[in-house]
Structure 1
Amino acid sequence: MAGYRALAAVGRSVVALLNRRFVEEIPDGADRRPTAVLAGPLDFEKVDTPGAVIAYPAVSVYCYRLSIDRETRAGWGAVSAQDGLPRLPLRMHMMLAAWDHTVDYELEWLGLAARTLESESVLTGPTLDPSGAWEPGDTVQVVSDELAMDSLSEAFQAMTTDYRLCLPYLARVVRIDGAAQPVAEQVTTVGSRLSGIPR
């Protein structure tokens, strides 16, 4: 899989997928059509202001946490021990939020985003942003995530924006490959018996 650009490439891939489906589902002559964007905490403070990343109507994709994928780490560790290439399997925890002037529009945009990710939960081949320099056969699965209300509240308390209705998603497994390391050579010990020395 990719090097250090993999995380950003997955974020771009999710945004690109949502924007393609928004264009297909909502015709050009429609009253409103959202734009999906990658956003961070500072972007939530400048919503719908001049030059803002989030401009109404929009669906923001915010990666609020990264974690180790413990299910696959041991397996990749064994592979790395054989070929000397370090591999770190990660999970991207994301929150999708809709931004518009009315709640009913926001619910529509979240519903469309949820339907898109549920229908096309596997990113592979041309649906993966090329900046990730992916290998043939690389895939990333985007699935709904479980996020307790307490954890959700804590996430918003860490930001200056007010609480917003959002959908939690998880992108797995995003594998970061390191630089190849030399594999230690096996050492063989050969014993010899000297003749003429009493035992």
Structure 2
Amino acid sequence: MAGHRALAATGRSIVDLLNRRFEQQLPTGPRPTAVLAGTYDFDQVNSSPTSVIRYPAVSVYCYRVSVDPTMRAAWSGVAARDGIPRIPLRMHLLIAAWDTHVESELEWLGLAVKVLERDSILAGPLLHPSGEWGPGDSVEVVTDELPVDSMSEAFEALTTQYRLSLPYLARVVRIDGAPESTAEPVATVEVNS
């Protein structure tokens, strides 16, 4: 049963996976650090030792969360039977590389794609434990279709300049509610006088 921390745990899972694979693929020499980034972090890139995004880096930015329309009805049906409400969600992500040279950024982006294609299903030990995952829980990380207009709009809403990014989708992140309490059976007591 995934708890309310499942979205954050999914982001952490992706970042942990990227960092683990980056270290395996590039044991020596420069390698990027994957980070979970927010809009504020884009304005602070490499500006201080405490900046979240420091060169070289690969940022994982969640720009939207939506309800998964294909799984919503199925999980509602399960909830009707067992009394546990569930909502299946999709995390829309932008993966971007950061470095002083465009060639390096393209290499880091290529490396991130290689990792996410190889390990596109996050399950078991690949899921960050803070998500309160249940046995059998998994999250699929796949490329997303994002029209160029939408990508431009996403960056227009930010104060940072356009950044070469790849859209990804983490699905299905399911958040489970507390079980509905079952009503006590009604008993009739007959009193003889």
Query: How does the TM-score come out when normalised to structure 1?
Result: 0.90
Report Cα offsets for 1:83-116 as digits up to 9, x if no partner.
1111000000000000000000000000000010
In structure 1, the partner of 2:190 is none
Runs of 4+ residues over 2 Å off in structure 1: 182-186
SS at match of 1:137: coil
Matched, 1:98 2:100: no
The residue that corresponds to 1:15 in the other structure is 15
Give the Cα separation in 2 of the matches to 1:85 and 1:97: 37
**Between Structure 1 and Structure 2, whose CA radius of gyration is higher?**
1
CA offset digits 1:109-137 (Å, max 9, x no partner): 00000010001100000000011111111
1:98 and 1:109 in contact (8 A); partners too: yes
Question: Deviation at 1:184?
Answer: 6.8
- Give me the whole-angstrom Cα distance separating, in 1, the residues matched to 2:133 and 2:68: 19
**Structure 1's 101 and 84: CA in aligned 2 closer, same or farther, altered over 3 A?**
same
Q: 1:33 aligns with which of 31, 34, 37?
A: 31
**Among the aligned pairs, what percent are the same residue?**
64
The aligned counterpart of 2:112 is 113
Equivalent residue pairs, number? 185
Q: Distance in 1 between matches of 2:9 and 2:97?
A: 22
Q: Which letter maps to 1:158?
A: A
Q: Is the 8 A contact 1:48 1:55 kept in 2?
A: yes
- 1:82 and 1:183 in contact (8 A); partners too: no
Match of 1:24 in 2: 24
Alignment of 1:67-78 (within 5 A): 67-78=66-77
Q: Secondary structure at the match of 1:23?
A: helix
Question: Which residue identity is paired with 1:61?
Answer: V
SS in 1 for 2:125: helix
| Matching residue of 1:5 | 5
User: Per the alignment, in what secondary structure is the counterpart of residue 94 of structure 2?
Assistant: strand
Cα pair 1:81 1:183 within 8 Å, conserved: no
* Deviation per residue, 1:8-41 (Å, 9 max, x gap): 000000000000111011123x1x2100000000
Letter in 2 for 1:21: R
- Within the alignment, does 1:147 sit opposite 2:143 as a pair? no
Structure 2: give runs of 5+ residues left out of the alignment: 186-193
Uncovered stretches (5+) of structure 1, i.e. residues with no partner: 187-199
SS in 2 for 1:134: coil
Q: TM-score w.r.t. structure 2 length?
A: 0.93
